[in-house]
């Protein structure tokens, strides 16, 4: 999911403005300075089984090759043993090609690593799931510590797994059926 620092997100409720504006004191949405940095005290790794919709998330202090290899070991223990082939779809991050990951691939022959093309994150099914997780865990909430963030992510992951469904690319939105129109002639407007 990326580095998440303890920061607040804009709230939904209106709060009284602390400084009067040109039209007097009025209510505004709570705001905070935008934090553009990709830094923080931790990183959350995630895995998705598209067929069942089950997910696994785990916090790590940083995004390193050693932490990624440790997460792959967690995923290996989480996956059902009867699965003959495991396809891990990864982006082209250097940590995903590190010696630790190559040694993991040698030790686990059922794994196959597939690297998505550059600028094609939309091909990876877990990317829309990260968006869902962010909306379940982080949207509209304020976090003071990394532990609070991880607790929110853990609760959102448990909620998702309790209500999971198969995840199919391109069908993340529900499609509404339109009623078929009745064939017939259009009515002409009345001319006065």
User: Which of 103, 105, 126 lies closest to 45, judged by CA?
Assistant: 126
Q: What is the pLDDT of residue 182?
A: 65
CATH of span 2-7+38-125+136-162: 3.30.420.10
pTM over 0.85: no
Output the CA–CA distances (angstroms, integers) from residue 182 to 10, 179, 186, 189, in the order listed: 46, 9, 11, 19
Q: What is the pLDDT of residue 109?
A: 94
Per-residue pLDDT tens over the stretch 28-71: 555 544 443 344 678 899 999 988 999 999 999 988 999 999 99
Output the CA–CA distances (angstroms, integers) from residue 82 to 26, 78, 88, 89, in the order listed: 61, 12, 17, 20
Q: What is the pLDDT of residue 35?
A: 42
Tell me: pLDDT of 75 over 70. yes
Tokens of 152: 């929110």
Per-residue pLDDT tens over the stretch 117-172: 888 877 777 888 888 899 999 888 888 888 888 999 999 999 999 999 887 766 54
Mean pLDDT, rounded, for 89-105: 89
Residues of the chain above pLDDT 90, percent: 35
Mean pLDDT, rounded, for 1-25: 56
Number of C-beta neighbours around residue 1 at 10 A:
19
Alpha-carbon distance of 132 to 104, in angstroms, equals: 29
């Amino acid at each position: 999911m990326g580095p998440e620092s303890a920061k607040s997100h804009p709230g939904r409720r209106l709060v009284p403005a602390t400084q009067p504006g040109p039209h007097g004191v009025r209510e505004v949405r709570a705001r905070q300075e935008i934090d553009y940095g990709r830094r923080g005290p931790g990183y959350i790794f995630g895995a998705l089984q598209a067929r069942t919709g089950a997910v696994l998330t785990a916090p790590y202090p940083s995004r390193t090759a050693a932490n990624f290899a440790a997460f792959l070991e967690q995923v290996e223990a989480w996956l059902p043993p009867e699965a003959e082939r495991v396809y891990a779809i990864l982006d082209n991050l250097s940590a995903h090609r590190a010696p630790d990951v190559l040694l993991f691939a040698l030790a686990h022959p059922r794994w196959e690593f597939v690297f998505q093309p550059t600028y094609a994150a939309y091909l990876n099914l877990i990317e829309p799931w990260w968006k869902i997780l962010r909306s379940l865990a982080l949207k509209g909430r304020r976090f003071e510590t990394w532990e609070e963030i991880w607790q929110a992510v853990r609760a959102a992951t448990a909620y998702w797994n309790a209500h999971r469904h198969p995840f199919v690319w391109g069908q993340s939105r529900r499609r509404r059926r339109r009623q078929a129109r009745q064939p017939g002639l259009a009515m002409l407007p009345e001319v006065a």
